[in-house]
Structure 1
Amino acid sequence: QWFANEKDDSFKSSIGQIYQTFGGEDLYPSVEEKAAMLLYLVVKNHSFSDGNKRIAAMLFLWFMENNGVLYSADGRKRIADNTLVALTLMIAESRTEEKDVMVKVVVNLINKDNQ
């Protein structure tokens, strides 16, 4: 009852934002970019009364899994659990003007073995 209670409509806004388009093109074209933005937005928007960082990390993993990109070809997670914890905390402590850098860091760490 106390965990994951939405405070307002900002969670719906976060979901909508990762699917935004401009001129018919996705602003976040890859699944990895969408996942990184989802993590960032859920952490920063404080949509829930409690557990925003935990919810954000869980949604990030759920989104990656449901889009078939959580695991690499050899069966390992593309982003380690301890890395996700560190990223989530880093995002929480970051300044708003650092958003693009935070998202790029997440995307680069997801793709580190695919470059």
Structure 2
Amino acid sequence: MSHNFHATPEDVATLLKVVTDYTYALDILDQYDHQVLSISNTTEEELYKINYKEAMWAINGLREKFGGSALFGNEKDESFQGSLAAIYQTFDGQYVYPSIEEKAANLLYFVVKNHSFSDGNKRIAAFLFVWFMEKNSILYRKDATKRIADNALVAITLMIAESKPEEKEMIIMVVVSLINSAN
């Protein structure tokens, strides 16, 4: 196979622009491939602690806004309360998930995976994830742009839904890397 491509100055400029614009994403993928992804650039100061009563109020508001079925947000059991409690677990007096980003990522994960509702689990999980981030002042950057785009929110929610339980730790690190202050 012959490689007779001769790059023009425009080709080089385009390559450099794309590589520069997506360096962070490409680094995350490289760290993932080499299993060296870690949690960094996170926010410790918690402004808001999610609770069951307010979360259910928000889910009902979501149903009204989007005209969900009667089954939307209908709890099948008490696992949703368990998901909320799980993000505040402590061990030896320390949070298992110390940063807001880790709590948000685990909230998304638990609500998707626990299937607590008869209908709308992924939408509810994605909504609570961004709502929790907003209530903790990390959903938007200083320039008021979204820290996580709609397409990324859909992709990570579906990635979680399709993932195997043994992949949880790595998936949480990917999600945190996509919402941390470096992104």
TM-score normalised by length of structure 1: 0.95
Is structure 2 residue 179 aligned with structure 1 residue 110?
yes
Partner residue, 2:90: 21
> What is the aligned-residue RMSD (CA, Å)?
1.0
User: Which structure has the bigger radius of gyration?
Assistant: 2
1:45, distance to aligned residue in structure 2 (A): 0.3
- Structure 2 distance, partners of 1:42, 1:91, is 10
Residue matched to 2:138: 69
After TM superposition, give the deviation of residue 114 of structure 1 in Å.
2.0
Shift of residue 77, structure 1, vs aligned partner = 1.1
TM-score norm. by structure 2 comes to: 0.61
Distance 1:37 1:90 in 2: 13
| Alignment equivalent of 1:34, drawn from 103, 106, 109 | 103
1:89 matched to which residue of 2?
158
Q: Deviations over 1:43-64 (max 9, x none)?
A: 0000000110000000001100
SS class of match (1:90): helix
* Identity over aligned pairs, percent: 67
CA distance in 2, matches of 1:74, 1:6: 38
Which amino acid in structure 2 is aligned with residue 99 of structure 1? K
- Provide the C-alpha distance between the structure 2 equivalents of 1:114 and 1:87, rounded to a whole number of angstroms: 18
Question: 1:10 maps to which residue?
Answer: 79
Q: Which runs of 5+ in 1 are unaligned?
A: none
Report the AA paired with residue 84 of structure 1: L
Which one of 116, 120, 125 corresponds to residue 51 of structure 1?
120
Looking at structure 2, the residues matched to 22 and 85 of structure 1 have their Cα atoms a distance apart, in angstroms, of 32
Q: Kindly indicate whether residue 170 of structure 2 is the aligned counterpart of residue 101 of structure 1.
A: yes
| 1:77 counterpart SS class | coil
* Residues paired across the two proteins, number: 114
> How far, CA to CA, are the matches of 1:48 and 1:109 in structure 2?
26
